[in-house]
């Protein structure tokens, strides 16, 4: 088995090189050149597992400490390995595992109400202090919008909220807006404070809801913002605007029809909706099994070819699609660097195994966006073609108005001389 793994690694490594020490102590190099990354297996069972099912077992071995990064970091290792063509299915066994997962993906993504809430709690109901270690000050746990390469994470997340608000055309105060998957409330608060909307936000996370409701009270927005613990399928009202950011990945292919039919029913005749979600720039696939097991159970990243037919069948009109390619890679890089800077604090909140798991999650996700055709799409939807201008010219003017409103909301109070 050790020799077979060596042959596979040497065949897969066509870009750069990887140093390997086996569980028996033998060392070799896969690829060409002096390796900047060197790994060591501590057990033969870990070698067998990685050979059989690398997509699941590499993450498990690193998390459990049976695959040790002796030179470089987890990020360096994943950057090297995930850039290799065909790395996810290098053997017949791994290709068979992929086929089996494809066959069972609709079962894995079956998300009725109860299961949806359990899946959300698995990830989002962790200790809130953990998220504060690496997210921006507004706790935006989704792709930022980098207007220029050296933009800070906080500014890029603000730019994301502004960009979405501009596409929603909050051109008059008092519009009723629904935020599906409102998280810790930052986007909904922006839409109300800056955009002037009356916001209803729904989430399935009790931890996030408590924070979001606390922020509403702190800002005195009780009359304009209402955050609820509620499934979007149970929302009874209709709205002028709908926004959903980072929630669609948890819906599941089998429920796309339900999602867009409900969105159609929730949206007023002249309404506009913005859907911001992760997608893949390749044909339909399956969720990485390690991510599905440890991070986002029930989650799936769709191809646009899986999404658009359900939009059409629901009677909604696509008025704009924007693809954000490397924005999430840069977002994840910022999160990873912040997490690593506070790793010791994270370890005090959890333990060493959790820190390895979280570092693998953040680094692996970043490299998926850099090397493996992951992207973010923003789809603007309406029930009527006339609901949105026929060119994009309105966006620049809308963003300028929102920038001015941001300053008015957050400007420091004027003080008299001597105060």
Q: How confident is the prediction for the chain on average, in pLDDT?
A: 91
Give the CA radius of gyration of the chain. 23
Residue 419: pLDDT band (50, 70, 90) is very low
Question: DSSP letters along 111-125, please?
Answer: --HHHHHHHHHHHHT
The domain of 140 spans 113-410
Q: Which residue in 253, 291, 279, 288 sits closest to 94, CA to CA?
A: 288
Q: Is the pLDDT of residue 35 over 60?
A: yes
Kindly state whether residues 189 and 338 are assigned to the same domain: yes
Boundary residue ending a domain (77, 103, 129): 103
Kindly state whether residues 235 and 263 are assigned to the same domain: yes
Amino acid 286: pLDDT: 86
Rounded alpha-carbon distances, angstroms, from residue 7 to 2, 52, 56, 340: 9, 14, 20, 34
Could you tell me which residues come within 8 angstroms of residue 256 by beta carbon, excluding any fewer than 6 positions away? 302, 306, 307, 310
Instruction: Determine the Cα–Cα distance for residues 146 and 163; give it in Å rounded to an integer.
Output: 11
Instruction: Determine the Cα–Cα distance for residues 286 and 306; give it in Å rounded to an integer.
Output: 12
For the stretch 145-176, pLDDT in tens is 999 989 999 999 999 999 999 999 999 999 99
Q: Is the pLDDT of residue 416 over 90?
A: no
Amino acid 99: pLDDT: 72
| pTM across the whole model | 0.89
Kindly state whether residues 12 and 51 are assigned to the same domain: yes
Kindly state whether residues 190 and 318 are assigned to the same domain: yes
Q: Is the pLDDT of residue 123 over 60?
A: no
End-to-end alpha carbon distance in the chain: 76
Residue 366: pLDDT band (50, 70, 90) is very high
Amino acid 299: pLDDT: 85
Q: Are 382 and 271 in contact (CB under 8 A)?
A: yes
**What CATH number has the domain bearing residue 66?**
3.30.1050
Residue 418: pLDDT band (50, 70, 90) is very low
Count of CB atoms within 10 A of residue 405's CB? Answer: 18
- Read off the pLDDT of each residue in 208-230 and give the average, rounded to a whole number: 97
Q: Is the pLDDT of residue 272 over 70?
A: yes
- Read off the pLDDT of each residue in 165-188 and give the average, rounded to a whole number: 96
Is residue 415 one of the residues assigned to a domain?
no
Q: Are 228 and 201 in contact (CB under 8 A)?
A: yes
Q: Which residue in 187, 317, 209, 185 sits closest to 263, CA to CA?
A: 317
For the stretch 246-271, pLDDT in tens is 999 999 899 999 999 999 999 999 99
**What CATH number has the domain bearing residue 368?**
3.40.50.150
């Amino acid at each position: 088995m050790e020799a077979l793994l060596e042959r596979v690694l040497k065949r897969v490594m066509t870009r750069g090189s990887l140093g390997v020490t086996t569980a028996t102590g033998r060392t070799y190099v896969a690829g060409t050149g002096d390796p900047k990354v060197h790994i060591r297996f501590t057990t033969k069972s870990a070698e067998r597992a990685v050979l059989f099912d690398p997509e699941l077992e590499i993450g498990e071995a690193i998390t459990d400490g049976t695959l040790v990064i002796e030179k470089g970091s987890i990020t360096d290792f994943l950057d090297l390995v995930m850039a290799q063509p065909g790395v996810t299915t290098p053997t017949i066994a791994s290709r068979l595992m992929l086929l089996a997962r494809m066959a069972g993906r609709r079962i894995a993504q079956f998300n009725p109400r109860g299961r949806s809430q359990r899946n959300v709690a698995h990830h989002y109901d962790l200790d809130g202090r953990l998220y504060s270690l690496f997210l921006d000050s507004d706790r935006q746990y989704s792709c930022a919008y980098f207007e220029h390469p050296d933009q800070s994470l906080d500014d890029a997340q603000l730019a994301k909220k502004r960009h979405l608000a501009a596409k929603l055309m909050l051109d008059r105060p008092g519009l009723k807006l629904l935020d599906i998957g409102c998280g810790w409330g930052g986007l909904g608060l922006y839409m109300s404070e800056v955009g002037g909307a009356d916001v209803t936000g729904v989430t399935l996370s009790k931890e996030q809801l408590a924070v979001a409701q606390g922020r509403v009270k702190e800002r005195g927005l009780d009359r304009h913002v209402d955050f609820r613990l509620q499934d979007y399928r149970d929302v009874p009202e209709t709205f002028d605007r709908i926004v959903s950011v980072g929630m669609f990945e948890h819906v599941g292919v089998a429920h796309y029809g339900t999602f867009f039919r409900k969105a159609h029913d929730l949206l007023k005749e002249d309404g506009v909706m913005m859907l911001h979600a992760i997608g893949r720039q390749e044909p339909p696939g399956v969720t990485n099994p390690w991510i599905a097991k440890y991070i986002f159970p029930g989650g799936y990243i769709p191809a646009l070819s899986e999404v658009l037919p359900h939009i059409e069948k629901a009677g909604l009109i696509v008025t704009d699609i924007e693809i954000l390619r490397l924005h999430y890679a840069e977002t994840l890089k910022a999160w990873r660097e912040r997490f690593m800077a506070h790793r010791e604090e994270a370890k005090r909140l959890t333990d060493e195994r959790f820190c390895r798991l979280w570092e693998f999650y953040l680094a692996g996700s970043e490299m998926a966006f850099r090397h493996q055709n992951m992207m973010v799409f923003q789809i603007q939807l309406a029930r009527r073609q006339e609901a949105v201008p026929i060119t994009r010219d309105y966006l620049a003017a809308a963003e300028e108005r929102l920038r001015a409103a941001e300053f008015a909301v957050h400007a420091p109070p004027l003080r008299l001389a001597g105060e």
